[in-house]
Structures are given as C-alpha cells and as structure tokens.
C-alpha cells in the first residue's frame, strides 16, 4: 500500500514538472513571437506620430552639409536611429544597425540622428562608430516631432512616407522587428493577435474543415 502511494506521488510530481516545463516553453515561444512582430518588443511608445500615419516631412542638414529628407516619397524605406555620444546602449547598437543597413540596402536607407552637444563631439562620434557612410543629423525638431524621450530610439518610414514602426531598441532583433512589422502590416503583437487570419489561411482552414466533415459523413 505504501509503495502504491509513493508511486502515485512520484507520478503526480512528474506530471506537475511536465506541466511547468510546458508552460515555460509556451511562454518563451510567445515572447519570441512578440519580439519578432512588435517593434522594439514591448517598448513601443504611444507618444508622437502613430504607426500607419504619414510621417512628418522635414529637410534636415547633415554633418557633411548634405540634406536628409524625412517623410514623403522616396525610393527605399528610411530607418532613423536616434543616438547620442554619451549613450552606452547606442554605442553597442550602432554596429548592428550598420550590419542590417548593409544586408537590407536594396530596400532600406539608414540615417542617424541626435540633438544636443557640439558639432565637433558628434563628428568624433561618427568617426569612432565608423558611420561616415550614412547621414547624421543634429536636430531638436526631429526629436520633438517624433517625441523621442529615451535612447536608443528608432523609427521606420516606408517608401510612401508612412510611419511603419517606432520604439526603443537595444538589439538587432528589435531593429529587425521594425522591418517585419512593415512587411506584415502589424504594428504590434496585439494587432497580430486581434487580426483575422489572412485570406489564404482562412481558405485553407475552411477547406480542411470541409474535408474533415466529408470524411466523417463517409
């Protein structure tokens, strides 16, 4: 009798442990889905222009004397990464932004933006970060129009001038999630979960359901 009780308790504990492992695995998968679909993970900000609206149109001088056009029609999407020479997270993220810009250069332009500080310090920052190949602007107006409060922060504007993603970022995965939100049309994981299945998926599901019904009738 004692052995049966002991065996039963062991089985119960094994079941409980299995359930815990399953819940943790499910939580991890939900977290991965959230990171992949939501711009900057859970760090999307409510302030500033809304995703899906046209981005503010600005013509801004760069450190090299060129002009960066923000908003409006362009040949490729524009990713603006807001940084600062005094931001440690920004320094860690810049190499990832450089690499992504190179791998996505067929459809994506990259620009860096900051506000405070003197031009000389920003020039040194550009050289130290090896980002001379991309536009770098100092603009209080740009930060104010997008209501950037913390760094590093990124906004993604598509070729039509529509804001497709924004938020605080601290990894390449966060940057890539902005592109994925543009490709998928979902700004956040909530939008993804609340949306109806794509037409093709719904059609496949309906076909599968009909097939199952016919098989059960036969």
pLDDT value at position 186?
A: 75
pLDDT value at position 194?
A: 65
pLDDT value at position 181?
A: 85
pLDDT value at position 213?
A: 45
Q: How many CB atoms lie within 10 A of CB 34?
A: 17
The domain that holds 135 is classified in CATH as: 3.40.30.10
Between CA 164 and CA 198 the distance in angstroms is 19
Q: Where are the alpha helices (DSSP H) in the chain?
A: 2-37, 88-103, 119-129, 140-145, 172-184, 189-194, 199-217
pLDDT value at position 11?
A: 63
> 111 lies in a domain?
yes
User: Mean of the per-residue pLDDT values for the chain?
Assistant: 81
pLDDT tens string 95-124: 999 999 999 999 999 999 998 789 999 999
> 207 lies in a domain?
no
Mean pLDDT, range 67-92, rounded to an integer: 97
The number of folded domains in the chain is 1
Indicate whether 5 pLDDT > 90: no
pLDDT value at position 142?
A: 97
pLDDT value at position 117?
A: 80
> 43 lies in a domain?
no
pLDDT value at position 116?
A: 77
pLDDT value at position 190?
A: 54
> 35 lies in a domain?
no
Indicate whether 9 pLDDT > 90: no
Q: How many CB atoms lie within 10 A of CB 53?
A: 11
Contacts of 43 (CB under 8 A, 6+ apart): 167, 168, 169, 174
Indicate whether 155 pLDDT > 60: yes
Mean pLDDT, range 84-88, rounded to an integer: 95
Between CA 169 and CA 146 the distance in angstroms is 15
Signed CA dihedral, 60, 130, 81, 160: sign only: positive
Which domain, by its residues, includes 184? 58-192
> 20 lies in a domain?
no
pLDDT tens string 49-64: 999 999 999 999 999 9
pLDDT tens string 158-177: 999 999 999 999 999 999 99
> 89 lies in a domain?
yes
Mean pLDDT, range 137-160, rounded to an integer: 96
> 197 lies in a domain?
no
C-alpha Rg value of the chain to the nearest Å? 24
> 51 lies in a domain?
no
């Amino acid at each position: 009798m004692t052995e049966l009780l002991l065996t039963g308790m062991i089985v119960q504990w094994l079941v409980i442990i299995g359930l815990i492992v399953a819940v943790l695995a499910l939580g991890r998968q939900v977290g991965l889905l959230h990171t992949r679909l939501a711009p900057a993970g859970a760090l999307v900000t409510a302030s500033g222009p809304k995703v899906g609206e046209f981005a503010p149109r600005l013509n801004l001088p760069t450190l090299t004397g060129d002009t960066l056009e923000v908003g409006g029609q362009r040949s490729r999407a524009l990713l603006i990464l807001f940084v600062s020479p005094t931001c440690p997270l920004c320094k860690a993220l810049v190499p990832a932004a450089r690499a992504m810009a190179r791998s996505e250069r067929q459809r994506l332009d990259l620009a860096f933006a900051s506000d405070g500080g003197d031009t000389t310090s920003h020039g040194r920052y550009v050289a130290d970060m090896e980002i001379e190949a991309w536009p770098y602007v100092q603009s209080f107006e740009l930060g104010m129009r997008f209501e950037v409060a913390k760094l590093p922060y990124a906004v993604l504007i598509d070729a039509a001038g529509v804001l497709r993603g924004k938020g605080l970022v601290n990894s390449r995965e966060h940057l890539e999630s902005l592109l994925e939100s543009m490709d998928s049309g979902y700004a956040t994981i909530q939008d993804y979960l609340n949306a109806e299945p794509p037409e093709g998926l719904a059609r496949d599901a309906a076909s599968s359901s009909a097939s199952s019904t016919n098989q059960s009738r036969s």
